[in-house]
Amino acid sequence: MATYSCGKKAKAILIIITIALVAFAFIHSSMPADISSEESGNVLEFLQKILDFLGFTPELTDHIVRKSAHFCEYTAIGAMLMSCAFAFDKLKPYKYYINVMFCGLATAVCDETIQLNVEGRAGMITDVLLDFSGVIFGTLIMFFIFLIYKKRFIAKSENK
């Protein structure tokens, strides 16, 4: 069976975006605790203003913002890793699932390891689990999107 893959340019773009997301995560992990806290505080203040405007009054904390950011960041990384798999095989991107999971887990472990060497920060197993759950979530979202794409792609090719 033939492999239907994206062109070299599309593959390169997806890989570059994925690397940029990983670099973004690593850069934020290498920030000292005081700078990271200030950044989280600014995001918390911004989110609180939006929620207040919308009429919601949940108890957001710096901790919730940080953990949500980790999960969202790694959901995006998981989605991009799965997009890279799709770029290499549009019909069977799941054959790269082990590679995607390994890369996602390795990124999470490296991210937390970076924090072990940063003033005021700590690398935690629970954060590795949170990050990796984001990778799994992002991967599954993209996998289901690709299943829909595959059904439409096959339906179009059969109608020709």
Amino acid letter for position 137: F
pLDDT in tens, 48-107: 888 888 888 778 888 888 899 999 999 999 999 999 988 877 767 778 889 999 999 999
pLDDT in tens, 105-117: 999 999 999 999 8
Contact 109, 126 (CB under 8 A): no
- One DSSP character per residue, 88-155 reads H-SS-GGGGHHHHHHHHHHHHHHHHHHHHTSTT----HHHHHHHHHHHHHHHHHHHHHHHHHHHHHHH
